[in-house]
Structure 1
Amino acid sequence: MKCRKGSAVLIIRVGDPFCRNCFREYFMHKFRAMLGKNRIIFPGEKVLLAVSGGPASSAMLRQVQEGLSRETAKKLRFIPSVIYVDEGAVRGQSPAQREQSLACMETLLQATGFPYYLVHLEQALELPASILRPGPATPSEPGVSYKEAVEGFIQQQRQKGYGDKDSGTSLPGAGSGESPEGAPAAPRLPAAALTQELLKLFEAVQTMTAKEELLQMLRTHLILQTARTKGYTKVMTGETCTRVAIKLLTNLALGRGAFLAVDTGFKDNRHGDVMVVRPLREYMAKEIAFYNHFFDVPTVIAPPLPTKRRDKPSFRHVVESFLLGLQKDFPSTISTVYRTGEKLSADRAKPSCEAERCLLCLCALDLDGEEELALEPTLIIDEPELERNGCCQDPLAAWAERKSAYIPLLCYGCRLTFKELVRLLVWSGVFSLGTGVPIPTALLLQGPVTTLPPYVRAEAQRRIHR
Structure 2
Amino acid sequence: MACRTGGECQSGCYKEEEENGTNEAVKVVSSRDDDDDVNRNKIDKHLCIKCKCNQPISITNPTAAAAAAFSDASRFCIDCFRNNLFGKFRFAITSNAMISPSDKVLVAFSGGPSSRVAIEFVREIQHKAQKNFDASRDRSLAVFGIGVAFINESDAHTETSHELDEAIEEMKLIVSNLDPPKKNFHVASLGSLWSSDSKYRLKELVNAVNDVTGREDLLLQLRMLSLQKIALENGYNKLLLGSCTSRLACHVLTATVKGKGYSLAADIQYVDARWEVPVLLPLRDCLTQELNLLCCLDSLKTVEVFERKPSGINGLVTSFVKLLQEENPSRESTIVRTAGKLIPFQFNMIPDSDDCNGILSSERRQKKYNQKFDESLPPDSFCAICNSPLDKSDNDLADSKTIEGMCCFSCQFEILPQDTSSMEQFYSLLPNPIAAKTKHGGYDNQRWLREQIQDCLLSDDENGV
Partner of 2:353: none
CA distance change for structure 1 residues 117 and 330 in 2, over 3 Å: closer, same or farther?
Answer: same
1:27-42 matched pairs, under 5 angstroms: 27-42=85-100
When structure 1 is superposed on structure 2, of 240-249 and 84-93 the one drifting more is 84-93
Distance 2:159 2:76 in 1: 40
> Does the CA-based 8 Å contact 1:248-1:260 persist in structure 2?
yes
Q: Does 1:19 align with 2:77?
A: yes
Partner of 2:319: 321
Partner of 1:196: 200
CA distance change for structure 1 residues 17 and 73 in 2, over 3 Å: closer, same or farther?
Answer: farther
Give deviations 1:196-224, integer Å, cap 9, x for gaps. Answer: 33222212221221121111111111111
Partner of 2:279: 276
* Shift, 1:348, TM fit: 8.7
Q: Matched residue of 1:89: which SS?
A: helix
Distance 1:341 1:270 in 2: 19
CA distance change for structure 1 residues 461 and 38 in 2, over 3 Å: closer, same or farther?
Answer: closer
CA RMSD in angstroms comes to 3.3
Give deviations 1:249-290, integer Å, cap 9, x for gaps. Answer: 11111221111122111110112x421110111001110010
When structure 1 is superposed on structure 2, of 48-57 and 98-107 the one drifting more is 98-107
Partner of 1:461: 439
* Shift, 1:352, TM fit: 5.5
CA distance change for structure 1 residues 58 and 74 in 2, over 3 Å: closer, same or farther?
Answer: farther
Q: Does 1:365 align with 2:390?
A: yes
Q: Matched residue of 1:343: which SS?
A: coil
CA distance change for structure 1 residues 465 and 243 in 2, over 3 Å: closer, same or farther?
Answer: closer
CA distance change for structure 1 residues 325 and 459 in 2, over 3 Å: closer, same or farther?
Answer: same
Give 1:411's aligned amino acid: C
Distance 1:28 1:300 in 2: 22
* Shift, 1:25, TM fit: 2.3
Q: Does 1:97 align with 2:157?
A: no
* Shift, 1:23, TM fit: 1.8
* Shift, 1:463, TM fit: 2.6
TM-score (norm. length: structure 1)? 0.66
Distance 2:279 2:223 in 1: 13
> Does the CA-based 8 Å contact 1:46-1:232 persist in structure 2?
yes
When structure 1 is superposed on structure 2, of 320-329 and 63-72 the one drifting more is 63-72
Partner of 1:241: 245
* Shift, 1:110, TM fit: 1.9
> Does the CA-based 8 Å contact 1:365-1:411 persist in structure 2?
yes
Give 1:448's aligned amino acid: Q
Give deviations 1:122-153, integer Å, cap 9, x for gaps. Answer: 10223xxxxxxxxxxxxxxxxxxxxxxxxxxx
Q: Matched residue of 2:274: which SS?
A: coil
* Shift, 1:416, TM fit: 2.4
> Does the CA-based 8 Å contact 1:91-1:304 persist in structure 2?
no
Identity %: 25
Distance 2:322 2:442 in 1: 44
When structure 1 is superposed on structure 2, of 224-233 and 245-254 the one drifting more is 224-233
> Does the CA-based 8 Å contact 1:259-1:346 persist in structure 2?
no
* Shift, 1:12, TM fit: 6.3
Give 2:81's aligned amino acid: F
Q: Does 1:115 align with 2:190?
A: no
Give 1:205's aligned amino acid: V
> Does the CA-based 8 Å contact 2:174-2:301 persist in structure 1?
yes
Aligned length: 347
Q: Matched residue of 1:17: which SS?
A: coil
> Does the CA-based 8 Å contact 1:82-1:114 persist in structure 2?
yes
Partner of 2:148: 82
Q: Matched residue of 2:386: which SS?
A: coil
* Shift, 1:324, TM fit: 1.3
CA distance change for structure 1 residues 92 and 444 in 2, over 3 Å: closer, same or farther?
Answer: closer
1:291-370 matched pairs, under 5 angstroms: 291-305=294-308, 313-347=311-345, 356-366=381-391, 368=393
* Unpaired stretches in structure 2, ≥5 consecutive residues: 1-47, 59-68, 135-141, 348-373, 445-465
> Does the CA-based 8 Å contact 1:24-1:291 persist in structure 2?
yes
Distance 2:443 2:92 in 1: 45
Distance 1:252 1:445 in 2: 29
TM-score (norm. length: structure 2)? 0.66
> Does the CA-based 8 Å contact 2:379-2:391 persist in structure 1?
no
Give deviations 1:43-76, integer Å, cap 9, x for gaps. Answer: 2311111111111001111112223334857999
> Does the CA-based 8 Å contact 1:228-1:274 persist in structure 2?
yes
Q: Matched residue of 1:119: which SS?
A: strand
Give 1:196's aligned amino acid: Y
Give deviations 1:376-414, integer Å, cap 9, x for gaps. Answer: 7xxx9xxxxxxxxxxxxxxxxxx98xxxx2111112233
Pair member with larger Rg = 2
Partner of 1:383: none
Larger helix fraction of residues: 2
Q: Matched residue of 1:85: which SS?
A: strand
Q: Matched residue of 1:356: which SS?
A: coil
> Does the CA-based 8 Å contact 2:167-2:303 persist in structure 1?
yes
Partner of 1:432: none
Q: Matched residue of 1:460: which SS?
A: helix
Distance 2:207 2:386 in 1: 22
Q: Matched residue of 1:18: which SS?
A: coil
> Does the CA-based 8 Å contact 2:104-2:144 persist in structure 1?
yes
CA distance change for structure 1 residues 313 and 67 in 2, over 3 Å: closer, same or farther?
Answer: same
Q: 1:106 aligns with which of 168, 172, 177?
A: 172
Distance 2:204 2:168 in 1: 23
* Shift, 1:83, TM fit: 1.3
Q: Matched residue of 2:188: which SS?
A: strand
Distance 1:122 1:15 in 2: 42
* Shift, 1:22, TM fit: 2.2
CA distance change for structure 1 residues 5 and 326 in 2, over 3 Å: closer, same or farther?
Answer: same
> Does the CA-based 8 Å contact 2:151-2:189 persist in structure 1?
yes
CA distance change for structure 1 residues 230 and 448 in 2, over 3 Å: closer, same or farther?
Answer: same
Distance 1:452 1:57 in 2: 29
> Does the CA-based 8 Å contact 2:157-2:203 persist in structure 1?
no
* Unpaired stretches in structure 1, ≥5 consecutive residues: 127-190, 307-311, 381-398, 426-442
> Does the CA-based 8 Å contact 1:89-1:195 persist in structure 2?
yes
Partner of 1:59: 117
Q: Does 1:448 align with 2:425?
A: yes
Distance 2:98 2:430 in 1: 35
